[in-house]
Structure 1
Amino acid sequence: MIVLDLSSNQLQGQLSTPLPSVMHLDLSRNNFNSVIPASIGSSIISASFLSLSSNKFHGQIPESICNAKSLRVLDLSHNSLSGTLPQCFSTLSRTLGVLNLRRNNLIGTIFDKFSKYCRLQTLNLNENLLEGVIPMPLANCTNLEVFDIGNNQIHDAFPCHLKKISNLRILVLRSNKFYGSIGCEGPNDTWPMLQIVDLASNNLSGRLSIKSLANSKTMMADNKAYSELKYLHYNAGLGFPSYYQDTITVVSKGLQIELVKILTLFTSIDLSCNNLDRPKPKDLGVLKASYILNLSFNAFTDPIPPSLGKLSELESLDLSSNKLNGEIPMQLADGLTFLLVLNLSFNQLVGPIPFVKQFATFLEASYEGNKGLCGPHLRTKCGSVEPHSPFPTFEDTHSTSRPLIDWKFLSAELGFAFGFGMVIMPLMLLKRWRIRYYKHIDEIFFKIFPQLYLGGKKYRQVRAHRNLMQRH
């Protein structure tokens, strides 16, 4: 037997050994509730694919797993595993392509040795209790495409030593204790393939240079040039279709969304909840293919750069809770035609809101906390000094005995009544006008419908008599 896939069933109890000797073993999404057997390594010596994710395994990760020298994919995510990361994983990185330990209770530091021949393509340690720093030897993993260590307690500067990993597509450092500036100096200071960047909820500071962070073709190019849709995945290379599908969680439109399949065209930048300031306007304008941009809860000042209007693919823009000033550029309303979510709240913006295209669909919540803004969706209308009062209550409308008349609603009715009276009243009051009016109307109807007034023969006699009178 080569493949044994028992995923998404209701298997439960303890995981017994020895396991079936197969190359592809998938026991994910079941109800196993036990420790991982200490001797598991001897059962999976020939295995290339092992997934025990989304169960209830607890205890430590057994060192014997490292005996599986042929292992290409190891997924132990979504369990309750504890303890430290086995140091032997550093040796396993020579053959391992995917290591996913996401959503466990692992403690300690990331193992500090990675082989010079590291073949890791995905390293996902998100939602654990890891501390320390990002080890320098991780830069040996030049094939790395997905690096996700979000929601841990890593205390380190921005990892510029990873900039030579040219294949990196996903960088998630969210909710840690990273500090300092983002920009990296020197040659090869960007990741040319980077498409998802999540650095939210850290202590990053200084001037933001997005171009130095993500100068990738994926974010800058016109997506229309990419006609073929592709997903990030890892091919275990077992001689038959054995793919591992990468997944990741992003914050999109204010909600946490788990991307089960990651399109290579999907681009997102989330730098919220830091202390960044003064982005370079030209840098923001080059991100033409970005779908999500979140710069909220930072220290940005100055006006909103009009160059943001060049982000024609943008669907979600959040610049809230900064100190942005000036007016909202019309270029945003003209250029962001696919925008579904906009949040400019709690800044220092002034002037009228562009009420065109997508901007005409956003409600007051998108602009609240900007006392100087005015527009149709706000209580402060442009041209008025004071904000409009709320709609009157029942008590307000009955607080006085004098009736309130809104002349705007009566203007059309008064106009009609005036015009109607100008025509009808003279006919009713003046007999001479009335006789002439009816005589004139009668002659018009006689010329149009003479047969209604006379029979056929008498009609011809009258007509002949009139013609004779006209000749004389």
Structure 2
Amino acid sequence: MSSSLLLLDLDCNKLSGRISPAICYFFNSLGAVMLRANRFEGEIPDFSTISSTNLQFLDVSNNHFSGKLPTWLWSNTYLWILDLSINHFEGSIPMGLCNLVHLEFLDLSENQLSGTLPSCSNPQRMTHVHLRKNKLSGPLSPAFNGSSSLVTLDLSENNLTGNIPDWVGTLPTLSVLLLKANQFDGGFPIHFCRLSRLSILDLSHNKLSGHLPSCLATLTFNPSREKYITYPIYNYVMFSAFGSVLADIRLTIYELIHSKALSDGELPSSQVYFAMYEGEIAIEFSTKKQQYRYAGTLLDLLSAIDLSCNQLTGMIPPALGNLSEIRGLNLSHNNLFGPLPSTFSNLKQTESLDLSYNNLNGRIPSELTELTALEVFSVAHNNLSGPLPDRKAQFGTFDESSYEGNPLLCGPPLNKSCSEGPPSASSSEEHGPIDMGELYISFAVSYGIIFLATVIVLYINPYWRRVCFYFIEDCSTTCYYFIVDCFRKLPCFRRNI
């Protein structure tokens, strides 16, 4: 069968050890190789014997493969999907990546790749790029500048530095942008306001500064189906191999799957697998104070902004309240100040709102109680004051941890009353004597120290004794004449004289 084998699928087993290079000589017609979630180690065997027009799908993710990225990969110009994530590959990403002109899905996440991204001149077909958790460094090169199809760009948890370049704001189809945990600095990229299809933005744990632009509110952050498209891998490979011969069969199987015939068991399991083998786009995103993996329809529903742990300053633009479709907003651990916008009451779909660890002041708007979808809310460690919103709807579920670190806030669930009257008598009796006693003791100790110091100095030094004696004598004489002069000016004193 080896001469005609198109698909090799060993996914999700417990296979281990090294793969013998000899096996590749027998599988020169393979279109898809799937070794995901096993325990293979060593280097990937050389599949260069496979025709460069045949191999379109390679997934060896979640194994223990090591070494540098194999050079034979870059000659497979018809490669459509390449997933080498969660392994131990090291070294740089070579310029040969630019040869894969048909590549749509690239995942090299969770390896030890270093260096900078290669800049390709024609990345028109690249749709999803996942490079998180590597050791990529330096400024962000124009690797995907000019791409008209990029939907997902995940460069989280690397060591990228410098400003976020302007070309990122020119990607017309970009829906998911994840740049978390790098070393990006400079102001918030104003060109992001041109990303009309953006639905997920994560710039957290960087060194961005400056003000939040109001134009960010012009983006809708609507959920986008583009970001979770599934790939019918097996169908694609088989259709490419046999051309139009399978067109009618493929359509028939699709129709049967979506009909009652499938539930009645009329299709053999092999045919169901033939039609239904699909790969999903997945990302990691932190919301509700937890990190989750989103894929499929869950990813479709997610729309969120995370700008936490930066150095952003200024006031929160009230226009951000126009992001009515957003599910999560995290601005915590910055230097934002000013009031909390009452326009946030328009965030009807928001499930997580975190504004903690800033310098916000004023009252918490009572209108926020209208946010009935809110599950996580935190304004802890700010300078907010006044009574808390009424404990109704979702605000009845938030405990004091949502408000801690604001000493001027009052009302339930805090153990501080909002009464503005004078302190009670019992409070005065309880705290007054203790405070006054400490004051008396401190005065007595201070005067005692001064008196003893004076006595010691006068006893030891004769010069200062004489100075002190003459000073007292002069003061006594001056006081005497002053008192006598005052008495002479009194009328009764003159009559007696």
Please indicate, yes or no, whether the TM-score normalized by the shorter chain is above 0.5: yes
Equivalent-residue separation in structure 2 for 1:48 and 1:150 (angstroms): 27
Q: C-alpha offsets along residues 174-199 of structure 1, whole Å, 9 cap, x if unaligned?
A: 011111112435xx951111111000
Report the equivalent of 1:35.
43
The 5-angstrom pairing of residues 69-468 of structure 1 reads 69-92=77-100, 94-111=101-118, 113-184=119-190, 189-209=193-213, 211-212=215-216, 215-219=218-222, 231-234=228-231, 237-238=236-237, 239=239, 243-261=278-296, 262-334=298-370, 336-354=371-389, 355-383=391-419
- Contact 1:78 1:104 (C-alpha < 8 Å) held by counterparts: yes
Code of the aligned partner of 1:5: D
RMSD: 2.4
Q: Which moved more, 1:240-249 or 1:362-371?
A: 240-249
TM-score, with length taken from structure 2: 0.71
Which runs of no fewer than 5 residues in structure 2 stay unpaired? 240-249, 251-274, 427-497
What is the SS of the residue equivalent to 1:180?
A: strand
Q: C-alpha offsets along residues 408-440 of structure 1, whole Å, 9 cap, x if unaligned?
A: xxxxxxxxxxxxxxxxxxxxxxxxxxxxxxxxx
Equivalent-residue separation in structure 2 for 1:161 and 1:244 (angstroms): 29
Aligned: 1:25 with 2:33: yes
Which runs of no fewer than 5 residues in structure 1 stay unpaired? 390-472
Equivalent-residue separation in structure 2 for 1:229 and 1:128 (angstroms): 26
Aligned: 1:56 with 2:64: yes
TM-score, with length taken from structure 1: 0.75
State the Cα distance separating 1:320 from its structure 2 match: 0.3
Equivalent-residue separation in structure 1 for 2:137 and 2:189 (angstroms): 23
Q: Which moved more, 1:25-34 or 1:261-270?
A: 261-270
- Contact 2:232 2:279 (C-alpha < 8 Å) held by counterparts: yes
- Contact 1:229 1:265 (C-alpha < 8 Å) held by counterparts: no
Equivalent-residue separation in structure 2 for 1:318 and 1:280 (angstroms): 13
Task: Determine which structure has the larger helix proportion and give its number.
Answer: 2
State the Cα distance separating 1:246 from its structure 2 match: 1.1
State the Cα distance separating 1:108 from its structure 2 match: 1.1
Equivalent-residue separation in structure 2 for 1:74 and 1:382 (angstroms): 61
Equivalent-residue separation in structure 1 for 2:173 and 2:301 (angstroms): 15
State the Cα distance separating 1:275 from its structure 2 match: 1.0
- Contact 1:50 1:75 (C-alpha < 8 Å) held by counterparts: yes
Aligned: 1:10 with 2:28: no
Percent identity reads: 34
Equivalent-residue separation in structure 1 for 2:190 and 2:215 (angstroms): 10
State the Cα distance separating 1:10 from its structure 2 match: 0.9
State the Cα distance separating 1:44 from its structure 2 match: 6.3
Equivalent-residue separation in structure 1 for 2:168 and 2:302 (angstroms): 22
Equivalent-residue separation in structure 2 for 1:64 and 1:292 (angstroms): 43
Code of the aligned partner of 2:109: R
